[in-house]
Amino acid sequence: MDNLLNPFNARMLGHLVPTVHNIYADGDTVIIYFDAAGTTRNKQPYRNTYAWFLTFKDKKIVNATAFYDSIAFNDLWRRVQPAS
């Protein structure tokens, strides 16, 4: 949270809005494939495509792996300063 999600959110004006393409489930694993879009603090658009692989145990997420477009993410990280 401290190294990624909080600094990411501090670069955005609001929340990302997801558009889910598909959700796959097999046993205790769920994969969510989606796009997300939002506006950065410098009023530029941010868009990315994600695939989250979630492992559940007792109705709780016990492991999560996320794949995304690192070029779009790195561009955001370099050009937008986080809010203090």
pTM: 0.86
Write down the number of H helices and E strands in the chain: 2, 4
pLDDT digits (tens, 9 = 90+) for 17-49: 999 999 999 999 999 999 999 999 999 999 999
Instruction: Identify the pLDDT of residue 30.
Output: 98
In percent, the amount of the chain with pLDDT more than 90 equals 93
The three state secondary structure string of 31-67 is: EEEEEEEEEECCCCEEEEEEEEEEEEECCEEEEEEEE
Sign of the CA dihedral running 9, 19, 68, 63: positive
| Alpha-carbon span 21 to 57, nearest angstrom | 24
The answer to whether domain 5-76 has CATH 3.40.50.970 is: no
Q: How confident is the model at residue 76 (pLDDT cuts 50, 70, 90)?
A: very high
Domain boundaries, the chain: 5-76
Mean pLDDT of 43-64: 97
